[in-house]
């Protein structure tokens, strides 16, 4: 054991883990909830069978552990899915985000060094006012909001492959909706006829910026034109002499495709919504900046919480709830 | 040469060809425009370089040719694209469908047995009332409508990977719009997270039928919910105890996905349109039946023209125009 590892082991109070579909990240925390160690791997839920989780976790954080005693590990994300380590059944909304541990499950472990809590996701069943929906992992990022402001009320958006929009009231999720935005963009950009027309955009470039916000605005005004505007990108590439050529052309068309997919999401979620309180965006800076541009275009203000900060704050809140 | 081939050669007046991206079909016609021979192959535009078209055509129809004289060949479809045999530049709308041959090009051939006309596609440039769009091949199917009714006016739809909707006025296409419907369905059904939830549907099954028409109706009423209803299919699969299980469950969810993608197309094209004249569907029977169900759901009537019949009628019209 290295000196550093010995120092970590002497101070370690508990471990926080965000275990997603394609990777996991672990943080070692001291008794003041300060991060004293970090580790990660690409052994996400999709590459593990249930009997491999404990070994993978020990492989990653084994060096942090003290010689004796049991360390609590709070895990959020896909490790708690049916096809993960062990299922932590969805909690139905409304759910208070400081009470996620009430749905936690403790998988049986081979060793006695760890006590693992798998946090549940949230579910919403179909009713007059809402559709069937699920989230797993994002609830812990939302709990990060509540860790900062216990009675948080407002609208939060977590952009991504499956973007989530959640309504919070006094620290509870009351309703949420998932949009396939990121996945739609990836499929269209890389696997459809549009792959011949689009490349990578850069919203700092004025032509990309303008193409992006025009597309957001057009789809927000007329969401029924989404599917024809997609093919329109291909036609524009074939016909439009005003577009730049080469990579600059592909960049502008990418920005437009991004604007169409994000714009469709915003049309869905912001339709008929008064633009008063700012919308809280949780995620990485670059993607949240893109959403801010889009939301500003249709008259909404935003504030930003970094995704890593949010998930760690949510895991801390869950750990505190265990002690209460 | 077989007896049959000799008989064909003695009667052959001209040849009609529909040369698409992934296959081609050729018909031999006599002086009364009756089909006396048919052939086809999977050598579509995507598998040929420009110098291979003549040989492929001769390979397919060489046996039909008389010993002397030159035979006219009218070709529609992707063979006339920039990346095909030789480019037949798009004709801008409005274009009269009995005048497509005005944009035909004659590729230089190695032999003297054939005289080949590649028909052009149609293009539409961006303006206040329409978007950039292109078609290549479908214009000849639309010409099939005009072959039957020279002054045809009305709305025609050609369902498919890239579904086309065209407005015809007195035998001319005045405006058209392409929807990415078929491609969107394929990407979502086979390459997105929904691949775990959907299978094959059967609209003769009452549960599939109902799921399909509900989805059409929901998206027609609220097209802005398209992206969230896509993820909703996955959530429904995970949560909805009322759905059947196994293949029947996957079938119902497929029917719903089909209804969502077709419904988005119809929301785009039928928005604000009075439902008076029937819409002419051109294509295969099964797909046109699906569109009829969807269109009936939102209050429109349809009539059907088989795709093969339409393209051959359009090629006949083009051949007649050459003689005029």
A146 burial class (0-12, 13-18, 19+ CB within 10 angstroms)?
buried
CATH number for domain B1-121, candidates 3.30.70.2190, 3.40.50.2020, 3.30.420.300, 3.40.605.10: 3.30.420.300
Q: Using the beta-carbon criterion (under 8 Å), do A191 and B191 form an inter-chain contact?
A: yes
Would you state the pLDDT for residue A227? 95
Nearest to B16 by CA among B102, B85, B114: B114
Cβ contact (<8 Å) for B231 and A162?
A: yes
pLDDT computed for residue B157 by the predictor: 98
DSSP A135: E
Closest approach of chain B CAs to the CA of A64, in angstroms?
Answer: 37
Q: A181-306 — its CATH code?
A: 3.30.420.310
> Which of 220-249 (A) contact B at CB < 8 A?
223-232, 234-236, 238-240
How much of chain A, in percent, has pLDDT values that exceed 90?
90
The reported pLDDT for the residue numbered B299 is 94
Tell me whether A214 touches chain B (CB under 8 Å): no
Q: Are A45 and A81 in contact (CB under 8 A)?
A: yes
CATH ID of A3-136, from 3.90.226.10, 3.30.420.300, 3.40.50.620, 3.40.1050.10: 3.30.420.300
Q: What are phi and psi of B286, to 5 degrees?
A: -65, -50
Lowest-confidence pick of A127-131, B168-172, B207-211: A127-131
Whether residue A117 is predicted with pLDDT greater than 80 in this model: the reply is: yes
**A9-54 confidence digits (pLDDT tens):** 999 999 999 999 999 999 999 999 999 999 999 999 999 999 999 9
Q: Would you place residue B1 in the very low, low, confident or very high pLDDT band (cuts 50, 70, 90)?
A: low
Residues A250, A237: Cα–Cα separation, whole Å: 8
Of A229, A231, A271, the CB nearest to B162: A231
Q: Give the distance from CA A237 to its chain's centroid.
A: 33
What mean pLDDT value characterizes chain B?
95
Topology of the domain covering B137-324: Nucleotidyltransferase; domain 5 (3.30.420)
Q: Once rounded to an integer, what is the mean pLDDT over residues A56-62?
A: 97
pLDDT tier at B2, thresholds 50, 70, 90: low
Q: Does A267 touch chain B (CB under 8 A)?
A: yes
The CA distance from A29 to B215, in Å, is 49
Q: Is A167 on the interface with B (CB under 8 A)?
A: no
pLDDT in tens, B38-71: 999 999 999 999 999 999 999 999 999 998 999 9
By CA distance, what is A272's nearest residue in B? B224
**Cβ–Cβ below 8 Å for A180 and B264:** no
Residue A2 scores a pLDDT above 70: no
If contacts are CB pairs under 8 Å, which of residues 116-135 in chain B contact chain A?
A: 123-126, 131-134
Do residue A179 and residue B264 have CB atoms under 8 angstroms apart?
A: no
* Whole-angstrom distance, CA of residue B24 vs CA of residue B190: 26
The beta-carbon neighbor of B227 closest among A193, A238, A264 is: A264
Contacts of A209 (CB under 8 A, 6+ apart): A203, A255, A293
Residues of A in contact with B229 (CB under 8 A): 131
Residue A11 CB neighbours (<10 A): 17
**Inter-chain residue contact A180 with B187, CB threshold 8 Å:** no
Is the confidence at residue A3, as pLDDT, over 90?
no
CA distance B120 to B298: 35
A224/B188 CB distance under 8 A: no
Helix A285-297 to helix A246-270 angle (10° resolution) is: 70
pLDDT at A139: 98
What is the rounded average pLDDT of the residues A176-189?
A: 97
CB of B251 within 8 A of CB of B197? no
Residue pointed to by tokens 């009714």: B149
pLDDT of residue B203: 97
Q: Residue B3: is its pLDDT beyond 90?
A: no
Q: How far is CA A168 from CA A154, A208, A292, B19, B226, in A?
A: 5, 34, 20, 57, 23
B chain contacts of residue A268, beta-carbon cutoff 8 Å: 224-228
pLDDT tens readout for residues B278-304: 999 999 999 999 999 999 999 999 999
SS3 A152: coil
SS percent in chain A: helix, strand, coil, step 5 = 45, 20, 30
Which chain A residues are within 8 Å of B264, Cβ to Cβ? Answer: 224, 226-227
Q: How far is B201 from chain A (nearest CA, A)?
A: 21
Instruction: Give me the residues paired with residue A305 across strands.
Output: A282
Reference B222, options A180, A264, A134, A183; nearest CA is A264
- On chain B, the residues whose CB falls within 8 A of the CB of A226 are 223, 226, 264, 268
Q: What are phi and psi of B30, to 5 degrees?
A: -90, -175
Mean pLDDT of the region B239-258: 92
Return d(Cα A107, Cα A126) in angstroms, integer: 30
8 Å CB contact between A171 and A150: yes
3-class SS at A222? coil
Task: Give yes or no for residue B242 having a pLDDT over 90.
Answer: no
Q: pLDDT digits over B17-43, tens only?
A: 999 999 999 999 999 999 999 999 999
On chain B, the residues whose CB falls within 8 A of the CB of A89 are none
Q: Which burial class, exposed, middle or buried, applies to A112 when counting CB atoms under 10 A from its CB (0-12, 13-18, 19+)?
A: exposed
Residues of CATH 3.30.420.300 domain(s) within chain B?
1-121
**Would you say the C-alpha torsion A166, A168, A173, A174 has a positive or negative sign?**
negative
Q: Which residues of B touch A265 (CB under 8 A)?
A: 227-228
d(CA B176, CA A231): 12
CB contact under 8 A, B126 and A240: yes
Per-residue pLDDT at A1: 52
Tokens of A212: 């992006």
Closest residue of B to A230, CA-based?
A: B180
Q: How confident is the model at residue B204 (pLDDT cuts 50, 70, 90)?
A: very high
Q: Find, among A323, A319, A317, A276, the residue nearest to A142 by Cα.
A: A317
pLDDT of A76 reads 98
Q: What is the pTM (predicted TM-score) of this model?
A: 0.92
Q: State the span(s) of chain A assigned CATH 3.30.420.310.
A: 181-306
Q: What average pLDDT score do residues B214-225 get?
A: 96
Chain region(s) in chain B for CATH 3.30.420.310: 137-324
Separation in Å, CA of A241 to nearest CA in chain B: 10
3-state secondary structure chain B: CCHHHHHHHHHCCEEEEEECCCCEEEEEECCCCCEEEEEEECCCHHHCCHHHHHHHHHHHHHHHCCCCCCEEEEEEEHHHCCCCCCCCCCEECCEEHHHHHHHCECCCCCCCCEEEEECCCEEECCCCCCCCEEECCHHHHHHHHHHHCCCCCEEEEECCCCEEEEEEECCEEEEEEEECHHHHHHHHHHHCHHHHCCCCCCCCCHHHHHHHHHHHHHHHHCHHHHHHHHHHHHHHHHHCCCCCCHHHHHHHHHHHHHHHHHHHHHHHHHCCCCCCCCEEEEECHHHHHHHHHHHHHCCCCEEEEEHHHHHHHHHHHHHHHHHC
- Tell me if A131 and B228 make a contact (CB, 8 A cut-off): yes
In angstroms, the separation between the Cα of residue B37 and the nearest Cα of chain A is 34
Predicted confidence (pLDDT) per residue in A63-113, tens digit:
999 989 999 999 999 999 999 999 999 999 999 999 999 999 999 999 999
Local confidence band at A235 (pLDDT 50, 70, 90 cut-offs) = very high
Residue B271 near chain A (CB below 8 Å): yes
């Amino acid at each position: 054991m290295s000196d550093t590892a010995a120092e970590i082991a002497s101070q370690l109070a508990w471990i926080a883990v965000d275990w997603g579909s394609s990777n996991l990240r672990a943080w070692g925390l001291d008794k003041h909830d300060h991060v004293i160690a970090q580790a990660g791997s690409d052994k996400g839920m999709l590459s593990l069978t249930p009997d491999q989780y404990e070994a993978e976790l020990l492989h990653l954080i084994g060096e942090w552990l003290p010689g004796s005693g049991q360390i609590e590990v709070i895990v959020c994300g896909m490790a708690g899915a049916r096809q993960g380590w062990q299922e932590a059944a969805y909690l139905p909304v409304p759910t208070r985000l400081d009470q996620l541990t009430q749905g936690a499950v403790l998988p049986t472990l081979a060793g006695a060094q760890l006590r693992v809590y798998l946090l549940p996701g949230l579910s919403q069943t179909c009713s007059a006012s809402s559709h069937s929906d699920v989230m797993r992992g994002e609830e812990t990022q939302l709990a990060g909001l509540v860790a900062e402001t216990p009675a948080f009320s407002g609208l939060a958006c977590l952009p991504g492959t499956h973007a989530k929009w959640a309504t919070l009231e006094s620290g509870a999720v009351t309703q949420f909706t998932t949009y396939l935005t990121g996945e739609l963009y990836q499929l269209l950009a890389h696997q459809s006829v549009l792959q011949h027309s689009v490349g990578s955009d850069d919203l700092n470039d004025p032509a990309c910026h303008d193409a992006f916000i025009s597309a957001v605005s057009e789809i927000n005004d007329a969401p029924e034109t989404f599917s024809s505007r997609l093919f329109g990108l291909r036609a524009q590439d074939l016909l439009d002499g005003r577009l730049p050529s080469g990579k600059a052309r592909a960049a502008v068309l990418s920005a437009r495709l991004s604007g169409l997919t994000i714009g469709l999401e915003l049309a869905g979620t912001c339709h008929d919504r008064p633009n008063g309180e700012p919308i809280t965006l949780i995620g990485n800076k670059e993607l949240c900046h893109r959403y801010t541009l889009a939301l500003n275009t249709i008259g909404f203000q935003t504030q930003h919480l970094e995704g890593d900060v949010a998930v760690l704050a949510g895991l801390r809140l869950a750990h505190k709830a265990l002690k209460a």
